[in-house]
């Protein structure tokens, strides 16, 4: 079996079978006038993980300008097939005017130098192996992720207060806001011991899958820096770092739909900081029994802080409060507008009668 070197010049297979137009050294001329790209035979790409009913990885990722190793099914060498790609270090950028180059131009403006430069290879004198796989700490993906990191994000706080009562002073303890930050991406502890990041791959331990638009998938087996990264070209990404920490950074909107039950366990603190508003709707289906229950365990409080605004309740039903201890309030004015009756009792004594107009001695009460 004789093999040949060739270069991909087209992957626009009309049958969508992943075939490639390949110009083969020793068989085809470099002159594209004598042998245009369109007249090159279609080469079948051997699949390594499936070739049936859409299974496996399809199509192959041999872009124009990729060097290949090629063989033939037939003795007339009209039915080529691709054994695999040949990564290297390009000496220069491609020339779309010549064969054995990517025919796609970097610009359609003939006045620019990029008009006579191929899209691939993207840079000269650099290995075809992805920069993340080579362990570059200047990786555009890693650096960009550090650029969009959110740091010093404040959490909620609560101001303590005191209430004077007939039996003494009630003191409610406050809590101060803390801050949190997304983990640093690029690890630079060799130069600064405080710059502990999640990304520090060492060749050949980081296995990278990269696409044309900039999507990236990494399985990094580097000692002490094991990671799994799924990164979108927009900047959104999800990463599992060495200790299992998970970071999800979404640069646009997020939608989550669960068609059945959702259960979540957090064996630590849960901190949420929201820049704008929060809306929560329970019992969308208006079905009886779909309640909103909140339980705070023993020896802990439920604190609500409205920094500058009102606390409003609009309830189409009863408001029922049961406290096994005191109810204490401190306010400026206390007003009750009841369209029917006001009844206040203490122990076995009624402080207001059922009309809500007189005390227990029948004396009119001014509630204004």
pLDDT at 361 over 90: no
Confidence of residue 359 (pLDDT cuts 50, 70, 90): low
- Complete domains list, the chain, with CATH: 1-128 (2.40.50.260), 140-249 (3.10.450.190), 334-368 (no CATH)
Mean pLDDT calculated for residue range 49-63: 88
Residues whose CB is less than 8 angstroms from the CB of residue 73 and which lie 6 or more positions away in sequence, other chains included? 79, 80, 81
pLDDT recorded at residue 364: 58
Mean pLDDT calculated for residue range 14-24: 96
Least reliable range by pLDDT among 44-58, 122-136, 301-315: 44-58
pLDDT at 351 over 70: no
Measured between alpha carbons, how far apart are the two ends of the chain, in Å?
104
pLDDT at 73 over 90: yes
Per-residue pLDDT tens over the stretch 203-218: 999 999 999 999 999 9
Per-residue pLDDT tens over the stretch 163-178: 988 778 989 999 999 9
Per-residue pLDDT tens over the stretch 83-104: 999 999 999 999 999 999 999 9
* Alpha-carbon distance values, 355 to 136, 343, 346, 350 (Å): 82, 8, 17, 12
Cross-strand partners of 346: 349
DSSP 89: -
Q: Count the Cβ atoms, other than its own, within 10 Å of residue 16.
A: 9
pTM reported for the whole predicted model: 0.87
């Amino acid at each position: 079996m004789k093999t040949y070197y060739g270069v991909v010049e087209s992957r626009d297979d009309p049958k969508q079978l992943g075939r490639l137009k390949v110009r083969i050294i020793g068989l085809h001329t470099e002159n594209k006038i004598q042998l245009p790209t369109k007249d090159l035979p279609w080469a079948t790409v051997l699949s390594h993980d499936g070739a049936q009913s859409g299974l496996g990885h399809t199509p192959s990722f041999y872009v124009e300008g990729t060097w290949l190793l090629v063989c033939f099914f037939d003795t007339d060498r009209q039915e080529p097939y691709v054994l695999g790609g040949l990564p290297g270090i390009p000496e220069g950028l491609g020339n779309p005017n010549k064969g054995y180059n990517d025919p796609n131009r970097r610009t359609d403006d003939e006045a620019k130098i990029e008009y006579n430069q191929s899209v691939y290879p993207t840079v000269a004198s650099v290995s075809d192996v992805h920069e993340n796989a080579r362990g570059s700490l200047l990786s555009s993906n890693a650096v960009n992720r550090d650029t969009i990191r959110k740091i010093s994000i404040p959490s909620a706080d609560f101001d303590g207060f005191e209430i004077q009562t007939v039996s003494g002073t009630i003191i409610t303890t406050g809590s101060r806001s803390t801050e949190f930050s997304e983990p640093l991406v690029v690890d630079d502890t060799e130069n600064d011991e405080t710059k502990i990041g999640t990304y520090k791959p060492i060749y050949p331990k980081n296995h990278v899958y990269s696409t044309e638009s900039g999507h990236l998938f990494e399985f990094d087996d580097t000692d002490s820096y094991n990671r799994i990264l799924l990164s979108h070209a927009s900047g959104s990404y999800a990463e599992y770092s060495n200790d299992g920490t998970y970071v999800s950074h979404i640069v646009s909107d997020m939608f989550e739909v669960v068609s059945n039950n959702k259960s979540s366990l957090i064996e630590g603190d849960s901190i949420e900081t929201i820049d704008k508003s929060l809306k929560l709707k329970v019992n969308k289906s208006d079905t009886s029994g779909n309640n909103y229950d909140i339980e705070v365990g023993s020896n802990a409080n439920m604190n609500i802080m409205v920094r500058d605004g009102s606390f409003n309740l609009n309830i189409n039903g009863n408001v029922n409060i049961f406290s096994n201890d005191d109810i204490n309030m401190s306010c400026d004015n206390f007003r009750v507008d009841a369209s029917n009756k006001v009844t206040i009792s203490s122990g076995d004594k009624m402080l207001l009668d059922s009309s809500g107009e007189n005390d227990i001695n029948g004396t009119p009460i001014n509630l204004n």
